Amino acid sequence: MAKIKWKLIGLLVFGLGFLLGFQNPANASLGLETSRISGVRQIDTAIEVSKIGWQQADTVLLANCDHFPDALVAAPLSHKLDAPILLTPASGVDAKVLQEIKRLGAKKVILLGGEAALTPKVVSDIRNAGLGEPERIAGYDQFETAQKVAERVGAQGKIILVSGEQFPDALSISAYAGTTQTPILLTSAKKMPETTRQAINSLQEKGDLKTIVIGGEAVVSSASLSSVKDVQRIFGNDRYETASNVYEFARDTLIARTTYLVTGENFPDALAAGGLAAKQRAGIVMAQRTTLPGSTYAVLSKPTDVPTKVVIVGGLAVLTDNVKGILEGTVQPDFLLAGLTIVIDPGHGGPDTGAIGPAGTYEKRNNLAIGLSIAGLLRSAGAQVIMTRSTDVTPAEGTYSELSDLQARVKIANDQNADLYISLHNDAFSNPDVGGITTYYSSASPVTDESKDLATSIQSELVKAVSLNSRGVKDAAFYVIKNTKMPAVLVEIGFISNPTEEQLLGTPDFIQKAALGVYQGILRYKGY
């Protein structure tokens, strides 16, 4: 036992934590200023967006109102040309759209997409309105159209790659892509289209190219990225968390005090938002029709130097007044953990395997799987979650050593002022029959009583959830729970040295139950 206790000492906390105190989270409210941009139809909403963003424009981008990819890759071109994005049916140009083009005094109309998206009738309508011959940027499909738009924008050592089969991820990155004039290319979930692959290969041959991938494995698989050299992936457990993570990623670029809130359930009303947000250097977050997802609430809860104004894009059928009330603080959300920042700390990683089971199982993998599952549950309850690691890495910088690793973890944890700290491990012992769950707190902690209460709550709920033997709540001077300033616990979820528990630890059912047990323990600690 002694030779493996080093693994209990602690883990790095890094990220974006913020201190909101130990108030009852049910009483937390955003209190944000709001306004709304909307029209009867998605076409009308795009016109209203144009009116707010542009008094005059030499060029207008025109896309299909019922087909999202062409409009969503347009934000970088919109910013480059200072051109609003307007929408129209495939069958012809809507009369109100023609009025808006004339109001803007536009001399040029660029059509995005082929004749299936915008028919020859669209071209004739533009000619007959005295607007001249429109330019068309189009390919065989949405993937080739995106590639041609990207060529028109011009890549400067960086591109963005998103799903061409779903709209949310492209929408979430559109403001950043526009402001930085970074081209957006489209791909499929399992296999990259040849058009996109050739475009990326060509850019990589010209020099260093960074590819920012938006979305997780379900929308852009790692296998499809085998030929892409320098990849940064931004993703979350769902479209709302992905959008929130993109929002955080882009904070230093999108510096306006305005944030645009769009629907994550349907695309039309949000199609034109990327161009306006890019023009104003404003971020984009997503909501459901009747409420804010926990991840969106959490990211909007983060204090800023100036208050954030939220502009709701779409009418009441798209985003209801209940959403508006939550933003303004007049309606309390159903998020049990709103306003809390919680550190989830999957033990070990990288060269540090942790304990190794008799069948060769690595502790570090078990810890990460349970940690990711806990993080998803907490975010859905409105908590701001900091993962000390979300892949198989060690958080230590420079030459790895246990001491530097531990010092860095504690320092950053305290600097971030997180509200709770949960470190996840598997136990091990020379006797393979020993098993069960133990939760540790430290009497040397500056918040001993709170840490003990947290440990007691998690131990009780976790044992019930997974039906393993309870080894109790224990006091130990492990480094991370001794030196962190917030309530902190270290949870030993089963014995990896026990063959039965080792097998359990790797099953999806056990991972889900263990995550739910820790989550319910946190709820119990907070009084729910």
- Angle 349-350-356 from CA coordinates, rounded to 5°: 60
- 8 Å CB contact between 259 and 309: yes
Pairing assessment for the beta strands 158-163 and 135-137 based on DSSP bridges: unpaired
- DSSP 3-state of 35: strand
Q: Which residue matches tokens 């005090």?
A: 257
CA distance 48 to 273: 10
- Angle 456-461-465 from CA coordinates, rounded to 5°: 150
Please name which of 5, 6, 12 lies closest in space to residue 394, comparing C-alpha atoms.
12
Please name which of 309, 344, 357, 350 lies closest in space to residue 497, comparing C-alpha atoms.
357
CA distance 469 to 503: 16
- 8 Å CB contact between 288 and 326: no
Helices and strands (H and E) in the chain: how many: 18, 18
Q: Is 492 a catalytic residue?
A: yes
- Angle 314-317-319 from CA coordinates, rounded to 5°: 55
**Assigned token pair, 275:** 């161009």
| Three-state SS sequence of 327-396 | HHCCCCCCCCCCCCEEEEEECCECCECCCECCCCCEHHHHHHHHHHHHHHHHHHCCCEEEECCCCCCCCC
CA distance 194 to 174: 23
338 backbone dihedrals φ, ψ, rounded to 5°: -60, 135
- 8 Å CB contact between 306 and 257: yes
Catalytic residue among 100, 363, 461, 492: 492
Residues recognised as catalytic: 492
